Structure 1
Amino acid sequence: MSSDSTTRWSYARPWLTNAALILIGSGLLLLTRQLISEFSHFTIGFSGVSGWSAILYALAVLVILTQPVNRYTFGIILAFAIAFRLVTLLPAPYLSTDIYRYAWDGVVQHAHISPYRYVPGDPALTFLRAPNQNLFDHINRRDYAHTIYPPVAQFIFYIVTFLNPTVTFMKLAMVLFEGLTLYALLEFLRELGVRREQSLLYAWCPLLVWEIGSSGHLDSAAMAFIALALLARYRRQSLLTGLFLGLAIMTKMYPLVLLPALFRRGEYRMPATVAGVVALGYACYSSVGLGVFGFLGSYVQEEGMDTGTRYFLLELTQHVPGLHNLSSKPYLAFVALVFAVLMIWCWRTCCSPVPLKVETGQTRRFGLPADADFLVPAFALALALMLLFSPHYPWYVAWLVPFLALVPDITVFAYICGLFYLCTTAIAVGTGPLQFLLNKMLYGSVLLAFVLDIVLRRWPILHPSPKPPYPRPATEDRA
C-alpha cells in the first residue's frame, strides 16, 4: 500500500485517535493516582510509576504527531490534563519541600519584613512560627540558608499568600500558571499553522504532573513567562518580549540564556525592558543590600559548581587517561566557547530583521515561518545550558517542555523523559559514583536518540498528517 493511500486511510478514521488517547489518558490517570498512593504505601515504587508514565506519554506523543484528529480530540487532551493535576492538587507535596519556603517567604513579607533579611530559623521570626508551624517544620535549610528566589518570585509568593497562606493554594497558583503556559502555546501553535492537539506534549508530560501538580515548583511561573515571551517575539512585540523575559529571569535566573535568541538587530527596546524589569525588581528589595541575592553564592558552592563536581561532562573527561587532574577552569572555558558559538549563530539567524513581504507558506530555516526561526536557536541555548551544567533535579529541565511542544525533537524528548525516570531510581543520589552512573545512562540515551533522529530524518518511516500553510507574518512592529 502506498504512503498516499495510507494517509487517506488514517484520515478516514480520526475516532481511532480519540479512542487511543482515551485509553492512554486513563492509564496515565491511574498512574497519577498511584503516585499519590506511593507516598504512604509501596506498591510498584516511584520508578515503576515514572517508568510506565514515560512509556504511555511516549505512545500518546506518537499518536498525536502521526494520526488524524477531529474536533473532539483537543477536548479529550484538555480533560485528561486537568484531571492529572486535580489528582495531585490536594495531597501534601512529598518529593520536594521547596514549596514550603515559597509560602513562608510570602508570610514573612506580610509581616513587613524582607524575605532576604533572615533565615527562617532566626529568633527574629519566632513570632511567625506558631501561626505557620506546618510551613516552618517542612522548610529545608531553614537554619542556615536565606531565600534564593528572585524578586518576581517573591511578588508571586506575596500575592498568593495574601489570598491564602497554604501549600495547597500555592500549588493551585502554580497549576494556574501552567494554564497560562498552555494558553500561550495554543496561540503560538495556531499562528504557526500547527494543529493545537500538539499541545499534548506539554499538557500530558508526566514530569510536569509530578513536579508542578504534585510538588508545586516555581518553574511553572517561569515557564509561563517564557512562553509569553516567545509568543510576543513571534508577533514582533518588542516591549512585551522584554517584559515577559525580564519577569521570567526574575522568577528563575536561567531564562537569561534566551536573551540572544529573542533579540532582533537594531531593536534595543527589548533588552532595555529586560534590564528595567531586573533593576526595578532588585530595587524593591534593596534595603538588604547584597543580601538580595540570598543563598545564591552558597548554593553554587553546595552544588559543586565552583569546584566542578556538578558537571558530568567534566567528570567524564577526567576518566580519560592523562586528564584525571583536569580542573573546572578549562571546562568553564569550553562552556563559554560553546555559548559564544551559539550566540554568533543566534546573531546570524535570529537578529537580522525579517523581510516584511513574505509569501504565505514561505519558510526560511528549520521548516518554520520566517518570523519563527528564532525558536530553534532559543531551544538550543536552553538545551545546551542543561546538558553542560547537568542538573540532577528533574524540575530543572521542566522549562524545556514548552519548547518541545512547539518544536518536537526526539533527542530532547529522550533527555526529559530519561532524567524524569532515572531520578526516581535508587541511583539518584545527587553525587558520587551512583550519580555518575545515572548521568552515563542519561547522556548515553540522549546520544542514541540523537543518532536515531538523524536516521529518521534521512529515512523517514512515519508519515505525519500534513499541516496547513503557515500564516503570513506581521507586517509591522508592535509595542
Structure 2
Amino acid sequence: MRIVVTSVLLALSAVATALSVAVLPFYGYEKGRVEPLVWATLGLWVLFALSLVSLRRVSTKSSVVLVLVGSLAIGAAAMFGPPNTSTDSARYAWDGIVQNAGISPYSYVPSDPALRELRTDWLFPAPVDGECVGERIMSVDEPGTGDLVCTAINRATVPTIYPPTSEIVFAGVRLLTGPAPEYWPMQLLGLLTSLGVTVLLLGSLRKAGKDPRWAAIWGWCPLVATEGVTNSHIDIVSALLLLVATLLVASGRRWAGGVALGASIATKLIPVIGAPALLGRRPGTVIVASVVTFFALYLPYVIANGPEVLGYLPGYLTEEGYESGTRFIMLSLVAPGSASLVLAALLVAATGVIVWWRTDPADPWIGQLVMIGVTLLVVTPRYPWYALLLIPMIAMTGRWEWLAVPLALTERLLIPSVDLARLTVSVAIVFIIVMSIRRAGWVIITPRQPRKHAEVVPRM
C-alpha cells in the first residue's frame, strides 16, 4: 500500500509537470494577476513534499526503484513542451551552431549580418506584416543595416556570456543533432544529466552508509525538472561536475577532484563557491588542478578572441544590479546601494574561511551545503536555477530544510515583488536556523520540571 501511494503521487507529479509545460503559456507576469504557472508550481512542490513523506515508509530496496522511476518519469514529463520561464537555451543552440561553423561564439553578436547564413527559422523567424510575433520572439535592429530582426535569442545584440565548458557542451549537442531541432536536444541533455546525478547520489549514499531515499530530494525536485530539463539551464551540468568533484576529493583523489572542480567553474563560474569545502589543510593539489583545468579550457578561446572571451559578463553584472548592490534584496535593508555589495562580499568570504577551516575534505558535505546555501541567501539571485548546485548537497546530508532556499528563489522568479521575496527569504532563513538548532540538540529554554510531590506515608 505504501508503494502504491508513493507511485500514485509520483504519477500525479509527472502528469502535472507535463501539463504545466504543454498547456500553460510562456510565463509573463502581469501586475495584479497571479499566473497559472504560479499555482502549478505550488502544486508541484506540494506533491514533491507528500512524495518524500510517503517514501519514508517504503522499504529501502523498493525505494531505490521508486527514486529511479520517479526521476525518469518526472524528467521525461518536463520535456513535453518548450521552455516556459526562460529563453536561455535558444542562446545555447545558437552558440553551438556558430561553433560548428568554425566561428568563435565570442566573435559576433547573434544579430550580426555576418552570420545571416547560419540563421535558422526557429531561432530567427521572418517578420509578419513588419512585426515579430510569438511568445518567445523578440525584435532587434540588425547592426549596420538597421533592418528588423526577429529572434528567440535574448540579448541578441551582445556577445555570449558563457564560459568554455558550456560552449563545448553547446557545440557537442549541436554537432550530434544539427541546427534544425528546436529545444528538445538541450532538454534531453538535462534529463540525462539529471538521471546521472540521481544514480550518483544513490550509489554514494549507499556507499557512505546513508539512507538512499535522500536521492529523491534531487530526482523528484520540481526545480530540477523545470529549470534543469524544461528550461535546460546549463547549471545542471555544473551541478553534476561539482558533485563529481566533491565525491572525488572525499575519496582521496584530489587531483581528479580538482580537475572536475575546474571544469565545473568553467561551466558557469558560480561553482567556485564549492572550492572552500574541498581544500582542507593541504589545498595546493586541488587549487593547482582546478586552476590549470580552468585556463586550459579557456585557452583556445583566448587565442582566438583575447580579452573578448569575457563576453557580456561585465555588462550582465551591471545590468543585474550586482555592481551597484541593488540586487541584494536582504542586505539592502541595512546597507543600501554599493554598501550591500561590500557587505555581501564580506559575508561570503567569511563563510568561505569558516567552511575551509572547519571542513574535513573526507566528509565535505555539510561544508558544501552551508557554503552554497549561505551564498544564495546572501546574494538572493532572481534565478532559482542557481540553486541546482545546492540540491545534491541537500541530498547527501539529508538536511531537507535547506529546500526552503530553492523554493524561496522560485517564488522570487515567478512573483516579482521585492517585499514578498524578502518575506519568503526571511521565512527560509528562520526555518533553516530553527531546524539546525533542533538537529544540534541545543536547548533554548530549559523545560520546566514537574513538581515532585512529597511522599505520603500511610498511617498504621
**TM-score using structure 2 length:** 0.83
Confirm whether residue 183 of structure 1 aligns to residue 199 of structure 2.
yes
Question: How many Å apart are 1:116 and its aligned residue?
Answer: 0.4
The alignment partner of 2:280 has SS state of coil
* Distance in 2 between residues matched to 1:447 and 1:346, nearest whole Å: 18
Would you say the 8 A contact 1:175–1:220 is kept in 2? no
Aligned residue number for residue 11 of structure 2? 26
Structure 2: where are the runs of 5+ without partners? 28-33, 125-150, 443-460
Question: How many Å apart are 1:448 and its aligned residue?
Answer: 3.5
Would you say the 8 A contact 1:38–1:45 is kept in 2? no
The alignment partner of 1:224 has SS state of helix
The alignment partner of 2:405 has SS state of helix
> Are residues 422 and 25 of structure 1, via their aligned partners in 2, closer, same or farther at CA, if it must alter by over 3 Å?
farther
One-letter identity of the residue aligned with 2:306:
G
Confirm whether residue 281 of structure 1 aligns to residue 272 of structure 2.
no
* Distance in 2 between residues matched to 1:152 and 1:71, nearest whole Å: 37
Question: How many Å apart are 1:113 and its aligned residue?
Answer: 0.6
Aligned residue number for residue 457 of structure 2? none
Question: How many Å apart are 1:308 and its aligned residue?
Answer: 1.1
Of 152-161 and 26-35, deviating more is 26-35
Question: How many Å apart are 1:422 and its aligned residue?
Answer: 4.8
The alignment partner of 1:47 has SS state of helix
The alignment partner of 1:261 has SS state of helix
- Write out per-residue CA displacement over residues 250-277 of structure 1, whole angstroms, 9 at most, x where no aligned residue: 0011111111211132252221111111
One-letter identity of the residue aligned with 1:139:
I
The alignment partner of 1:211 has SS state of helix
- Write out per-residue CA displacement over residues 299-345 of structure 1, whole angstroms, 9 at most, x where no aligned residue: 01110111111011232225xxxxxxx4323x333233323332332
- Aligned residue pairs: how many? 406
Aligned residue number for residue 37 of structure 2? 46
Would you say the 8 A contact 2:263–2:293 is kept in 1? yes
Aligned residue number for residue 302 of structure 1? 319
Confirm whether residue 138 of structure 1 aligns to residue 155 of structure 2.
no
Would you say the 8 A contact 2:381–2:409 is kept in 1? no
- Write out per-residue CA displacement over residues 179-222 of structure 1, whole angstroms, 9 at most, x where no aligned residue: 22223222321221013222100000011111122111111111
Of 331-340 and 50-59, deviating more is 331-340
Question: How many Å apart are 1:400 and its aligned residue?
Answer: 1.1
* Distance in 1 between residues matched to 2:260 and 2:434, nearest whole Å: 35
Confirm whether residue 150 of structure 1 aligns to residue 163 of structure 2.
yes
Would you say the 8 A contact 2:85–2:231 is kept in 1? yes
Question: How many Å apart are 1:278 and its aligned residue?
Answer: 1.1
Of 37, 52, 64, the residue aligned with 1:61 is: 52
* Distance in 2 between residues matched to 1:61 and 1:421, nearest whole Å: 21
> Are residues 307 and 336 of structure 1, via their aligned partners in 2, closer, same or farther at CA, if it must alter by over 3 Å?
closer
Would you say the 8 A contact 2:93–2:174 is kept in 1? yes
Q: Report percent identity of matched pairs.
A: 27
- Write out per-residue CA displacement over residues 35-78 of structure 1, whole angstroms, 9 at most, x where no aligned residue: 024334999811111111111111222333x4341422221221
**TM-score using structure 1 length:** 0.80
One-letter identity of the residue aligned with 1:438:
L
State the structure with more CA Rg. 2
Would you say the 8 A contact 2:68–2:199 is kept in 1? no
The alignment partner of 2:122 has SS state of helix
* Distance in 1 between residues matched to 2:225 and 2:67, nearest whole Å: 14
* Distance in 1 between residues matched to 2:62 and 2:290, nearest whole Å: 40
One-letter identity of the residue aligned with 1:440:
R
Structure 1: where are the runs of 5+ without partners? 1-14, 319-325, 353-370, 429-433, 461-479
* Distance in 1 between residues matched to 2:409 and 2:279, nearest whole Å: 31
Of 393, 397, 421, the residue aligned with 2:383 is: 393
> Are residues 40 and 380 of structure 1, via their aligned partners in 2, closer, same or farther at CA, if it must alter by over 3 Å?
closer
The alignment partner of 1:101 has SS state of helix
Aligned residue number for residue 173 of structure 1? 189
Question: How many Å apart are 1:19 and its aligned residue?
Answer: 2.5
Question: How many Å apart are 1:94 and its aligned residue?
Answer: 2.6
- Write out per-residue CA displacement over residues 270-303 of structure 1, whole angstroms, 9 at most, x where no aligned residue: 2111111111111110121111011100001110
Of 316, 325, 328, the residue aligned with 2:333 is: 316
- Write out per-residue CA displacement over residues 138-184 of structure 1, whole angstroms, 9 at most, x where no aligned residue: 11111x22100100111111111000033211211122122222232
Aligned residue number for residue 93 of structure 1? 83
* Distance in 2 between residues matched to 1:351 and 1:125, nearest whole Å: 51
* Distance in 1 between residues matched to 2:338 and 2:220, nearest whole Å: 38
Aligned residue number for residue 111 of structure 2? 121
The alignment partner of 1:118 has SS state of coil
Confirm whether residue 457 of structure 1 aligns to residue 439 of structure 2.
yes
* Distance in 2 between residues matched to 1:271 and 1:459, nearest whole Å: 36
One-letter identity of the residue aligned with 1:153:
S
* Distance in 1 between residues matched to 2:35 and 2:103, nearest whole Å: 45
Matched ranges for 1:65-464 at <5 A? 66-129=56-119, 132-136=120-124, 137-142=151-156, 144-165=157-178, 166=181, 167-286=183-302, 287-317=304-334, 326-329=336-339, 331-350=340-359, 371-372=362-363, 374-424=364-414, 427-428=415-416, 434=417, 436-454=418-436, 456-457=438-439
The alignment partner of 2:275 has SS state of helix
- Write out per-residue CA displacement over residues 339-373 of structure 1, whole angstroms, 9 at most, x where no aligned residue: 33323323332368xxxxxxxxxxxxxxxxxx21x
* Distance in 1 between residues matched to 2:199 and 2:70, nearest whole Å: 16
The alignment partner of 1:193 has SS state of coil
Would you say the 8 A contact 1:38–1:46 is kept in 2? no
Would you say the 8 A contact 2:173–2:185 is kept in 1? yes
> Are residues 48 and 90 of structure 1, via their aligned partners in 2, closer, same or farther at CA, if it must alter by over 3 Å?
closer
